[in-house]
Amino acid sequence: MSAPGISVVICVYTEDRWEDILAAVASVRAQSRPALETLLVVDHNPALHDRLTREYKETAGVRVLANAGPRGLSAGRNTGIAAARGEVIAFLDDDAVAERDWLGYFAEGYADPRVMAVGGRTVPVWASGRRPAWFPEEFDWVVGCAYRGLPRGRARVRNVLGGNASFRRTAFDAAGAFATGIGRDGDRRPLGCEETELCIRLSRALPDAVLLLDDRAVIHHRVPAAREHFAYFRTRTYAEGLSKALVARSVGADKGLESERRYTTRVLPAAVARGLRDALLGRPGGAGRAGAIATGVLTASAGYLVGSVRARRGDVTFSVGRIEDAGSSRNEGPPVNGPERAPAHRDARAATDRDEPAPAHRDGPVPAGRGEGGADV
């Protein structure tokens, strides 16, 4: 079986990340297994769209698109999926760079026709040059990275991590699009879990589907200085709880919290014990890590409770549509438990005539399926 063509989608929203965006694109173009194309999807920022269009107008294989849906990461990804030409669609964060064999390891996973998604390992690059002593590795999902507790090597998982992930196009035909109303919206409250909700829907639509985590598919994700502070840690864990409530509302608490139960009952108690042991031995950061873990669990739980109440009252809604290819007239998405269905996503190629020149967490934990358990990014 020949290796699938892979389109890479990078969703962008601010000129403040200009150098990061250029580095992300360069890392895709340097892959040992070339991408079929790179799609830059700009989230309602005309100035950035125009600047990127000028930057890449002479670059074959790079297209710049405007987000054809509502503001936010989910709609941006859906725009990229609709415009992509590849059999596999990979997603890379706009502030990350991929190692040279990143796409090669993704492609290997798809040799098995049952595999519908392959994710990789995201390594933090701290702005200060080193991990804060108090910051527990078990909570690296807070900054959009792989965390301690995920399975090693190549393993089946419940869901992949959004900023370093890939899906077969047919996965979206079966499960529908990323849900809008969940996930990031620029620099607003750092919600997440849109890929978790999609992956659970996918497994329900295709019970024999295999979702893999391959920790050889590595990207390096920049962590800005503001996210190294405890205030961001609290905000992000609270937002994760809010997001998890939406996921549970959509797919049920049994699946929506399956991996999180293992994470909180196995991974985190062991981490607290290590932190307290280090504190007793006089090692730096031990007590801080134990305290951060306790705080993270409490704030995430508070967010979940608040989010559950809001969801039951109908204060928060989200919708799932179907990705449409150019010229398709289908408007119905697959049945979904929880969110209402939205009209199908418009085709990105038709939606932006400026993009016609030529031819893939946010933060939060990725739950482990056959590993030590985990949270979800």
Per residue in 253-295, pLDDT (tens digit) is: 665 566 777 788 888 888 899 999 989 999 989 999 999 999 9
DSSP-derived 3-state class of residue 328: coil
Are 305 and 241 spatial neighbours (Cβ–Cβ below 8 Å)?
yes
Are 351 and 59 spatial neighbours (Cβ–Cβ below 8 Å)?
no
* Residues 159-212: tens digit of each pLDDT: 998 899 999 999 999 999 998 866 555 445 556 678 988 999 999 999 999 999
- Determine phi and psi for 216, rounding to 5 degrees: -80, -20
Query: What is d(CA 358, CA 59) in angstroms, rounded to the nearest whole number?
Result: 9
Query: What is d(CA 322, CA 170) in angstroms, rounded to the nearest whole number?
Result: 12
Residue 128 tokens, joined: 């200060």
DSSP H helices, 37-168, are: 46-56, 73-83, 102-109
Question: What pLDDT is attached to residue 147?
Answer: 94
Beta strands 88-92 and 164-168, pairing class: antiparallel
Question: What pLDDT is attached to residue 252?
Answer: 67
Pairwise pLDDT comparison (53 vs 192), residue with the higher score: 53
The pLDDT of 102-125, averaged and rounded, is: 98
Q: Name residue 83's amino acid.
A: A
Question: What pLDDT is attached to residue 102?
Answer: 98
Give 314's pLDDT tier (boundaries 50, 70, 90): confident
Give the burial class of 291: count Cβ atoms within 10 A of its Cβ; 0-12 exposed, 13-18 middle, 19 or more buried: middle
Q: How distant, in Å, are the alpha carbons of 77, 146, 218, 345 from that of 342?
A: 16, 32, 34, 8
Element (H, E) at 11: strand 6-12
Query: What is d(CA 88, CA 102) in angstroms, rounded to the nearest whole number?
Result: 14
Q: Name residue 333's amino acid.
A: G
Are 171 and 177 spatial neighbours (Cβ–Cβ below 8 Å)?
no
Pairwise pLDDT comparison (348 vs 211), residue with the higher score: 211
- Determine phi and psi for 97, rounding to 5 degrees: -125, 140
Query: What is d(CA 320, CA 180) in angstroms, rounded to the nearest whole number?
Result: 7
Question: What pLDDT is attached to residue 354?
Answer: 33
Query: What is d(CA 356, CA 366) in angstroms, rounded to the nearest whole number?
Result: 35
Beta strands 62-66 and 37-42, pairing class: parallel
Query: What is d(CA 217, CA 36) in angstroms, rounded to the nearest whole number?
Result: 18
Beta strands 154-156 and 88-92, pairing class: unpaired
What rounded mean pLDDT belongs to the chain?
83
Query: What is d(CA 363, CA 122) in angstroms, rounded to the nearest whole number?
Result: 11
Pairwise pLDDT comparison (264 vs 125), residue with the higher score: 125
- Determine phi and psi for 239, rounding to 5 degrees: -65, -35
